[in-house]
Each structure stands twice: as C-alpha cells, then as structure tokens.
Amino acid sequence: MSSDAQPDDHPDLDALQTPPDTADVVFGERKDLAEGYWRILATDGIDHGLMGPREVPRLWDRHILNCAVIEELIDEDEKVFDIGSGAGLPGLPLAIARPDVSITLIEPLLRRSTFLERAVETLGLENVRVVRGRAEERSVRAEVGLADVVTSRAVAPLERLSKWSAPLVRAGGRMIAIKGSSAAEEIERDRALVGRSGISDLRVVTCGEVLETPTTVVVGTKTERSGVKKPRRR
C-alpha cells in the first residue's frame, strides 16, 4: 500500500482504530488483521474514493463487523465469491474472520481491483484472490467456476442481483446478500423474478447478535434444475 497507510502519518486515527470489544468475539486471534484492514480503509480507501471521510468513525460497526458476522452463515471450507466487491466488503472481513474459507473478490473497475490486490498483499491473506471483471461476463464465469456461496453488499436490487449470482452458484448453494431494514419488502416485490433466475427459498436472516445493530441479510438457495427452460406451448 502507499505510505498514506502508515500509522505515523495519521496519529489522529489511532483512537478510532481501536476496535470495540465485539471484535474479539468476531475475529479472535486475527483481530490484528482486522485492525490492519481498518487502517487501509481509513487511509487508502479514502484516498481512492472507496469510502467517504465521514465513514471513518463508523468503519468498525457499520462496515467491518457488520460484514464479518455473515461468517455465521458459511460452512467450513466453503468456496465464496464476493461480487461487486468494491472496497472489499463483505469479502475481506469474512476472509479475516474465516481463514478456512476460500474467497474470490470479483470487481470490474481497475482502480478498485488494484486497491483490493494491494490490500490482500498487505494483509497477507492467503485465502483470497481478486478477479477483475463483471459477474455476468462469461469470461469471468469461465475463470472462477462455481461457488458454494455468492455474497454481495449494496450492489443491486434482488432481481438484478440474482441474475448475476445464480450462474456462479452450484446447485444447492446459496446467495447471501447484505440488505437493510426493507429486506422483507424487497423479497415480496422481487420473489417471482428472482425465481426465474434459479434462486428460490428467499428468506430474511439476522446474524451478529453480538453487535449493537445485527446484520440483516437475504438468503436464497440455488435450485437443482435452475437454468432449464420449459418448452413453450404452441
């Protein structure tokens, strides 16, 4: 990373960098890595326009911990794709919390994918790789294959998100999308359209009860026969 990420250059950030007690529960012995990621977001993340300066005081609660707690929904040794990863949310907090999980960050923009590659290298995360491209591109699908889980955060409405996620998920795998308080309404609005893409059993799940504000996600399951079109009646 650039020299901007060095603690001595930003002494005013030291107090803010100290994580809340819940970070011990979520990250355990890897809390130092989470602090390193916090520093990257608070410096290079701001410089690259990936985070707004006003987000710095709430990086822990609103971003890092909010994303990391979805690890409760990931099984051991699963393969995860994080689409539209941006600043690495939720993929990087998840990778820090769960070193057993293999994570691919899929990001189309060069500036952002370069940021992610440098962050992964700086943090020494051996369970993460970065792929530049759009989730809906055939070349990306050919490169990454299929995942057990596809994650996302603030990427798109469910209907569009399911079209991008479904082709990347194995049959029986899951789409896990971090959403807000309107998650239930979004499910009711888009359920039929999402079903056409091969994602069914949409439900709202809350995780991270240790947080002051738990994380709300929408979980859907890839159907076994998704992608098989029914013949038209004549």
Neighbours of 20 (CB within 10 A): 14
Asked if residue 123 belongs to a known ligand binding site, the reply is: no
CB 94 within 8 A of CB 74: yes
Output b/e per residue, 32-52; b: 16+ Cβ within 10 A: ebbbbbbbbbbbbbbebebbe
Asked if residue 136 belongs to a known ligand binding site, the reply is: yes
Asked if residue 135 belongs to a known ligand binding site, the reply is: yes
CB 38 within 8 A of CB 59: yes
Edge-to-edge, what's the strand order for the sheet holding 199-207? 128-132, 102-107, 79-83, 147-153, 169-179, 215-222, 199-207
71 three-state secondary structure: helix
Instruction: Show the tokens assigned to 90.
Output: 């939720």
Asked if residue 89 belongs to a known ligand binding site, the reply is: yes
Asked if residue 86 belongs to a known ligand binding site, the reply is: no
Could you tell me where the beta strands, DSSP code E, fall in 133-168?
147-153
Please give the annotated binding residues for S-adenosyl-L-methionine, written as ranges: 84, 89, 135-136, 153
Please give the annotated binding residues, written as ranges: 84, 89, 135-136, 153
